[in-house]
Amino acid sequence: MAKTANLSADRVLWIEGRPKARPVSRKGNVLLFAVLLLLLIGGSLIYVWSRIQVIQAGYEISNALKAGRALAEESKRLRVEVATLKSYARIEKFATEELGMSKPKPDQVIIIR
């Protein structure tokens, strides 16, 4: 059911009976553009938020490692202090000078089995 129109001898135009395509409305283009723009902005905000979270987590890890090193150093210092306080020379000196004690004589020692 095609109709031909002979405009010139060497040209033939085929015209079919189908309806013409409607032009896309300008309102639809603006709406599509707005949706795409909102998606782009939303994606950018999510990306920036995630980067900020990563940086903040890095700072927290750094602070935790710093606190861990400080605690390890304090633990080492306290172990040295405990070893110093437990030394027999210090205890003997404290007993003789501060408490007025003396070493027992051999006849004062009683061995219990």
pLDDT for the residue numbered 80: 96
> How does pLDDT run across 13-48, given as a tens digit for each residue?
666 666 666 665 788 889 999 999 999 999 999 999
* Torsion angles phi and psi, residue 92, rounded to 5: -65, -45
Is 0.85 topped by the overall pTM?
no
pLDDT for the residue numbered 21: 61
Q: Please give the mean pLDDT across all residues of the chain.
A: 86
DSSP secondary structure string for all residues of 52-93: HHHHHHHHHHHHHHHHHHHHHHHHHHHHHHHHHHH-HHHHHH
